[in-house]
Amino acid sequence: MSGKVAHDWRLKGQRYRLEGEECPHCRVKIFPPRDICPECHKPAKEPYRLSGRGEVYTYSTVNNAPGGFEEYTPYTVALVKLEEGPMITAQLTDVTPENVKIGMPVEMVTRKLRAQGDEGTIIYGYKFRPVLQA
Amino acid sequence: MDSQQVMHPQRPVGIIGYGSYVPMYRLPSTEVARVWHGGGKGPIREKAVAGLDEDTATISIEAARNALARAEIDPAEIRAVWVGSESHPYAVKPTSTIVAEAIGTTPYHLAADLEFACKAGTEALQAAIGLVGSGMAEYALAIGADTAQGRPGDALEYTASSGGTAFIVGPADEALATLSGSLSYVTDTPDFWRRAYQHYPSHGGRFTGEPAYFHHIQAAAEGILAGLQARPEDFAYAIFHQPNVKFPQRVARRLGFTQEQLEPGLLSNVIGNTYAGAAITGFSATLDVAQPGERILVVSFGSGAGSDAFVWEVTEALAERRSKAPLVSDYIRRRVEIDYALYARYRHKLLVK
Ligand SMILES: [Zn+2]
């Protein structure tokens, strides 16, 4: 496995399932996993799967995308505040940039993040979309 | 017809969770007609188009998450993840492992991709019935999903669309719809094909109707009705593969089913032909409205060619569990119309390098 492919493979728990951690001492939810609690600074390795629900905290529109993402421009990257507490940076999807608002309720979906050219792997991971209206 | 041709699992099984996904973009038929045929209308109103970041894996993942929400089981109890499609994202590397990892079923289960044109999803369902029905597994996940492509300008471009549905098969006593029996009917009929390394499919034109679609669906439907000693009027609903609106209506009429029985599951006018997702998304939309005790006939069709037929009976468990995930109508209502230019971009029909 090449270095890049191996790196993407190790991230699949958090990318595919929003797997973070819960601090056993102060119960803070942690994402992405870092094994040390950002609040009480004690070891925190208990896996915890986040619900994927949250709201847009801030956002910005990307018109000049970095390599691998050009295909998707223009797109919106948001800082999403998850209902369990952690802030997470992610691309928004199924939305036009002018319809994004601060405080907008969003939910996690799994989408294509990018493909490594025509011959490399396809990277899937979390994005957020406006909550589906039932 | 000999009733031995109807298949029954060793122990009773049913669907314990179901869920669908339809992308939000819609291409009206009038757009295809405008660009390629100088205007006019097409065979359907509009079709669902996958966004730039969607493919058969992402569609399958959301459908499977909806099925899991309704099944209310631990994903680790699932012993098979089977994805039927003709648009798997990789030529070599299973879609099913991506789906399995995303929904958290891994690692102790079977996983494979199935191919049989538009019946790949019901083929997966038959296999799941067998695995659970034999007692080898408590639960198995079967998915049919596609991001179908028609050659620009071809008649199929009006209808080839994106979407999919997932079912979790389990013991009948946990089911929201129990299986009464199933039957499969296949022959070697070259009505539609795509050779390796080709982007767009080819088809036999008028050859696709009578000897392919109609013959296989009628044979499968007549076989299962005879085998189960059932008549069309015993069913509340019937769903047939829906490459357009006319074919399922015509085959229903020939078999003795009414427009009312088709109604909730006939989606092709508003989402197009989701190929491996087509008959089963119609079934999913029918489960969204069905009541306990009602019987449902589902008959798929896949080019090449074959049909799978199933008879289901709805249980008391359905009403409460269907509220735990979005209905097909929720996805159909989430609708953003696009023109042919955006469609060409979303479906990678533009050469940018
Ligand atoms: Zn802590």
> SS3 letters for A19-75?
EEEECCCCCCEECCCCCECCCCCCECCEEEECCCEEEEEEEEEECCCCCCCHHHCCE
Q: How far does the CA of residue A125 sit from the closest CA of chain B (Å)?
A: 9
Q: Which residue of B has its CA nearest to A107?
A: B62
Band of residue B1 on the pLDDT scale cut at 50, 70, 90? very low
Using the predicted structure, report yes or no on whether residue B48 has a pLDDT greater than 60: yes
Whether the CB-CB separation of B77 and B138 falls below 8 Å is answered with yes
User: Which chain A residues contact residue B101 at CB under 8 A?
Assistant: 12, 16-17
**Closest listed residue to residue B217, CA positions, set B177, B189, B236:** B189
The answer to whether B118 is a known catalytic residue is yes
Whether the CB-CB separation of A76 and A100 falls below 8 Å is answered with yes
Given its phi and psi angles, is residue B40 left (phi above 0), alpha (psi -120 to 50 degrees) or beta? left
B58 and chain A in contact, CB less than 8 A: yes
Would you call B54 and A17 a contact, using CB atoms and an 8 Å cutoff? no
Residue range A55-97, pLDDT digits in tens: 999 999 999 988 888 888 899 999 999 999 999 999 999 999 8
User: Which chain A residues contact residue B102 at CB under 8 A?
Assistant: 16-17, 110, 124
A27 and chain B in contact, CB less than 8 A: no
* CATH no. for B177-320: 3.40.47.10
For A77, half-sphere exposure in the C-beta direction (CA atoms, 13 angstrom radius) is: 12
B57 and chain A in contact, CB less than 8 A: yes
For domain B10-176+326-346, give the fold: Peroxisomal Thiolase; Chain A, domain 1 (3.40.47)
**Residue ranges per domain, chain A?**
3-130
Whether the CB-CB separation of B178 and B291 falls below 8 Å is answered with no
Q: Which residue of A has its CA nearest to B104?
A: A17
With a cut of 0.90, is the ipTM above it?
yes
Encoding tokens for residue B218?
A: 């009628």
Query: pTM here?
Result: 0.96
pLDDT of residue A130: 97
* A80 vs A58: CA distance, rounded Å: 7
**Would you say the CATH fold of B177-320 matches that of B10-176+326-346?**
yes
Per annotation, catalytic residue among B88, B174, B241, B313: B241
Q: How far does the CA of residue A50 sit from the closest CA of chain B (Å)?
A: 13
Return the minimum-mean-pLDDT range out of B79-93, B248-262, B337-351: B337-351
**Residue ranges per domain, chain B?**
10-176+326-346, 177-320
**Closest listed residue to residue B23, CA positions, set B50, B46, B44:** B50
* B242 vs B160: CA distance, rounded Å: 11
Give CA B344 to chain center in angstroms.
25
Whether the CB-CB separation of A114 and A93 falls below 8 Å is answered with no
Using the predicted structure, report yes or no on whether residue B2 has a pLDDT greater than 60: no
The C-alpha angle with vertex B347 and arms to A128 and B276, in degrees rounded to 5, equals 85
User: Which chain B residues contact residue A133 at CB under 8 A?
Assistant: 330, 333-334
Whether the CB-CB separation of B132 and B9 falls below 8 Å is answered with yes
Look-up: residue for tokens 């034999």? B134
Give mean pLDDT, residues B284-306: 97
Give mean pLDDT, residues B178-190: 95
Helix runs in B236-336, H state only: 246-255, 259-262, 268-271, 278-287, 317-322, 328-333
Return the minimum-mean-pLDDT range out of A105-114, B54-63, B190-199: B190-199
Per annotation, catalytic residue among B54, B86, B174, B313: B86
A93 and chain B in contact, CB less than 8 A: yes
Residue range B61-87, pLDDT digits in tens: 999 999 999 999 999 999 999 999 999
Kind and range of the H or E run holding B343: helix B340-346
Would you call B53 and A112 a contact, using CB atoms and an 8 Å cutoff? yes
The answer to whether B86 is a known catalytic residue is yes
CA of A19 to the centre of ligand 1 (A): 17
Using the predicted structure, report yes or no on whether residue B91 has a pLDDT greater than 90: no
Would you call A16 and B102 a contact, using CB atoms and an 8 Å cutoff? yes
> What is the layout of strands, in order, in the sheet containing A46-49?
A29-30, A19-22, A46-49
Average pLDDT, chain B: 94
pLDDT of residue A121: 87
A124 and chain B in contact, CB less than 8 A: yes
